[in-house]
Structure 1
Amino acid sequence: MMLRQYLTGIVFLLMAVPSSSQHIASLADMKGAELNILVTRAAQNFNHSNYAYLRLKQIPEQLTDEQVQLLRRTGYPIFAFEWAIRLVANSHYEQAWLLIEKYWQQSTSSARIRVLDLLEKQGEYALMTRIFDQLEVLEPYASIYGLEVGNSISTLNKASVDALGVSVFGWHTSSASCKHSIMLFAETLSGVKQLKRLRTQYNQSTLSELLPYCLSDPLYVGDLTQCSGGESNFIQCNIDLLLQESSVQQARHLVIMTNKQGLANVYNGVMRLHNKSQYELFVHEMMHFAHFEDEYPVPQAKADWLCKTSGYKAPNLYVGTSAPKGWYKSETCKFGQLESYKPQHIASKMQYHEIHLSNHYLGLWLKSLNKTLSVPSDYQVYLNELNTKH
């Protein structure tokens, strides 16, 4: 009696064809025992018209590894491709490529999207490149790839990039909404995303209420800025091509984020950051806009001129033979001719950027801004020098 009920259940499961909406729901709710029955039936006979196979091909991601391997060995290409997806998920890219290349044309569009989505999330752009070069260019993944590796703006698919919500230099204007604007630029998609996070953190902090700066929406610039660096070198970027836009010339400062390795810095009022630079480092670098100096030893070349004569050199730096009242020895001029001093005994954010900004240094920052904002910024001075030369 029980055997008869079991066989009846199998027949009912395999032969009943519900309406489309009911069909989708039934597939999603399918239990392990039901899947086992379908897998066994599909594996008994390689047949693309097999009803069990037709149902299983719609839900390959619900099967166990053992079930996928069984159906793959039976000869079904879709499950060979499913195994490739699982290899990608486990970072076995070379093995996955062999199956992807062989079964791409026989796979479903949803499976292709799944594998590209996985590769994009894992940052495995080498395998994405193979797919686009040898098999098929699929949007928006081709554009995501192009943005992530910093391809030239001219090579991008505008419709796809716009759909991704990425603002691109030259396609969109991105002026900030205050007098003292800071324009944000990124060479890669990761940089755009990180700058958006930094902008959000700044806007949600008390600093945004106290400081006069407003940050623009980040713009993708690709290879326009040609940033370079090195593990122990300062990041350097070329802003010449950015200066073609009037909004860039009207800004008080620029921030450029790159995926090139190197040390964050501010030079000529332009901040250079790495994609992984976090908010506390960003604040440290912003303090350089107001002429704060680092309180760790500056390089010999800088110490040679910065530490040669006595006097107040920055809001947090006095150079001389003895400390002013309430000031303490610092490391800034370790390689210089004279000693350096700082206005706070304990370590500050200008020595270790991870340290929280103290009220003392915040006060010095605001005091410095009262003076520096009444004159052109270092970046604006640099622009004026460029214009004078031309």
Structure 2
Amino acid sequence: MLTLAKYVKFLSVLLGCLILSGSSNRFGAIGFWHVLNSKANVLQSYWQTPSYFRSHVSQLPDTQLAKLARLSIPLAQYRYSLRLINSGHANTAKVFWRAGASNLSVEHRKTLAEQLLVHSRWQDLALLANEKLLPEGNEKNHLKLELSTHYSQVSNEFINQLGFASISDDIEPQTQCLFNVLTMSNHRSGLYKLNELISRYDQAPEPRKHVFCFSMPVYVAGAVKCSIDKNQAAQCSVQTPKLIKSVTENFDFIIMMPKYGTANVTNNTMLINSDAQYHVFLHELMHFNGFEDEYALPLTKQAWLCTQRGLVAPNLYISDGKQKPQGWHKANSCQKGGVAYKPSENWSIMEYQQLGLSDQYRALWINQLDIVNDHLKRLPSAPTSTNKGVKN
């Protein structure tokens, strides 16, 4: 049984503990206030009341937060990293978040990954993934797309949510256009770039409306393998012929967008990399309808094309040099064989893509389409798949 003296002592200790506990937040708030307003030592104040500082660390100014981050306090490293990333200093941020990433919660690592994705820091996201610190979710799925992960390992639902098609989707051509074009890419940036090019084209269709209809971009990593040849041109080979055939059989043309390599068109397939500008895209579309380059053609192509005579393309006439269409001018297409002539005295989109499409070449393009369309009308039944274009 407690004596009166012991009871009073017990109550005094209990009351002191309660006062001390209730005061800790006040002490923390006072210390934090001094750091914000009076150049107090942030590290000393932090160690005196670390729990308060951890709860309010995001309110610290950059200079004070940086001091804590440089002293290897994980939460400060994390918060300072986010500020650096959002202010355009992602390389510096990497020093801090790497040092403390393994001590961060899943929620904090997810927020970090979100910011890295916003700023397209693919190597940083890959580093987190390699260290098994990248949480499951959208950021990890986006990284899979950018790294060209095999299509079977990426959720079809995720791909569809982004507005793209998976290789197993049913993709139907559109009936209102003369040509239907299937668009594909093996990486995330390519999918978004295709959407960008298609959107710009649809705002001002060339050479007129209802010529080309484009599918939504299809993710095909693993079904095709892409590289560059000795001339730095993009090239892709099909790895799963049966699967690709089932996707492409109802389309007139294909656009495949790899990461690297110069643009080219062969056998109704355009290869164009994900850094290409819009006028390059338009230039390659004209190849679909038979237009030829007005700069020097590859020697292998000159070997057979430049031996021909007459109008070999809507914009290219080849002769022995004794005759040419009235008003046409010498082109650089052929250095061997015949002499090549082009409609324009000046550079055109077929020689220098950045110039864009002139009225003269738009008229040539429309005329070529009318010839193709007239030919199709004369057929017993209009084809439903490829071969409406001109091989290039």
Structure-2-length-normalised TM-score: 0.77
SS in 2 for 1:237: strand
- 2:8 equivalent in structure 1: none
Counterpart among 104, 123, 128 of residue 126 in structure 1: 123
Asked whether 1:96 is paired with 2:102, we answer no
Equivalent-residue separation in structure 2 for 1:359 and 1:75 (angstroms): 64
Equivalent-residue separation in structure 1 for 2:194 and 2:293 (angstroms): 23
Question: 1:300 Cα shift?
Answer: 1.4
Question: 1:297 Cα shift?
Answer: 0.8
1:68–1:79 Cα contact (<8 Å) kept: yes
- 2:12 equivalent in structure 1: none
In structure 2, give the amino acid aligned to 1:169: I
Equivalent-residue separation in structure 1 for 2:184 and 2:126 (angstroms): 25
In structure 1, give the amino acid aligned to 2:305: L
Asked whether 1:352 is paired with 2:349, we answer no
Describe the shift of the 1:311–1:158 C-alpha distance in structure 2 as closer, same or farther (beyond 3 A): closer
**Structure 2: gaps spanning 5 or more residues:** 1-21, 377-381
Question: 1:381 Cα shift?
Answer: 4.4
2:167–2:247 Cα contact (<8 Å) kept: no
Q: Percent identity between the aligned chains?
A: 23
Bigger Cα displacement from structure 2, 204-213 vs 145-154: 204-213
Task: List per-residue Cα deviations over 1:117-174 (Å, max 9, x = no partner).
Answer: 343344433332231122323221111111012111122244544444443222x333
Asked whether 1:380 is paired with 2:381, we answer no
Equivalent-residue separation in structure 1 for 2:140 and 2:189 (angstroms): 15
Q: Alignment length, in residue pairs?
A: 350
Task: List per-residue Cα deviations over 1:160-196 (Å, max 9, x = no partner).
Answer: 44444443222x3333323521011011110011100
Describe the shift of the 1:242–1:189 C-alpha distance in structure 2 as closer, same or farther (beyond 3 A): farther
Describe the shift of the 1:64–1:159 C-alpha distance in structure 2 as closer, same or farther (beyond 3 A): farther
SS in 2 for 1:287: helix
In structure 2, give the amino acid aligned to 1:323: K
Pairwise mapping of residues 1-390 of structure 1 onto structure 2 (< 5 A)?
A: 15=26, 36=36, 43-46=43-46, 50=50, 52-57=52-57, 60=58, 62-72=59-69, 76-85=73-82, 90-92=89-91, 96=94, 99-138=96-135, 139-170=137-168, 172-178=169-175, 180-207=179-206, 209-229=208-228, 232-239=231-238, 241=240, 244=243, 245-260=245-260, 262-320=261-319, 321=321, 322-333=323-334, 335-373=335-373, 374=375, 380-381=386-387
Task: List per-residue Cα deviations over 1:299-320 (Å, max 9, x = no partner).
Answer: 1111111111321101111100
Equivalent-residue separation in structure 1 for 2:35 and 2:284 (angstroms): 58
1:281–1:354 Cα contact (<8 Å) kept: yes
2:306–2:338 Cα contact (<8 Å) kept: yes
1:187–1:257 Cα contact (<8 Å) kept: yes
Equivalent-residue separation in structure 2 for 1:34 and 1:109 (angstroms): 32
Describe the shift of the 1:195–1:73 C-alpha distance in structure 2 as closer, same or farther (beyond 3 A): closer
Equivalent-residue separation in structure 2 for 1:129 and 1:38 (angstroms): 42
Describe the shift of the 1:243–1:249 C-alpha distance in structure 2 as closer, same or farther (beyond 3 A): farther
In structure 2, give the amino acid aligned to 1:119: L
SS in 1 for 2:65: helix
Question: 1:209 Cα shift?
Answer: 4.2
In structure 2, give the amino acid aligned to 1:380: T
In structure 1, give the amino acid aligned to 2:331: S
Describe the shift of the 1:127–1:50 C-alpha distance in structure 2 as closer, same or farther (beyond 3 A): closer
- 1:25 equivalent in structure 2: none
1:41–1:52 Cα contact (<8 Å) kept: no
In structure 2, give the amino acid aligned to 1:154: S
Task: List per-residue Cα deviations over 1:267-299 (Å, max 9, x = no partner).
Answer: 001000010112111111010111000000101
Question: 1:369 Cα shift?
Answer: 1.4
Describe the shift of the 1:47–1:108 C-alpha distance in structure 2 as closer, same or farther (beyond 3 A): farther
Describe the shift of the 1:48–1:212 C-alpha distance in structure 2 as closer, same or farther (beyond 3 A): farther
Equivalent-residue separation in structure 1 for 2:34 and 2:106 (angstroms): 26
Equivalent-residue separation in structure 2 for 1:206 and 1:34 (angstroms): 63
Describe the shift of the 1:52–1:292 C-alpha distance in structure 2 as closer, same or farther (beyond 3 A): same
1:176–1:217 Cα contact (<8 Å) kept: no
Equivalent-residue separation in structure 2 for 1:176 and 1:294 (angstroms): 29
Aligned CA-pair RMSD? 3.5
Equivalent-residue separation in structure 1 for 2:206 and 2:35 (angstroms): 57
Equivalent-residue separation in structure 2 for 1:366 and 1:46 (angstroms): 73
**Structure 1: gaps spanning 5 or more residues:** 1-10, 17-31, 384-390
Equivalent-residue separation in structure 2 for 1:361 and 1:382 (angstroms): 20
Task: List per-residue Cα deviations over 1:185-223 (Å, max 9, x = no partner).
Answer: 011110011100111011100427435211111111113
SS in 1 for 2:180: strand
Bigger Cα displacement from structure 2, 205-214 vs 217-226: 205-214
Describe the shift of the 1:345–1:124 C-alpha distance in structure 2 as closer, same or farther (beyond 3 A): same
Question: 1:363 Cα shift?
Answer: 1.4
SS in 2 for 1:354: helix
SS in 2 for 1:207: coil
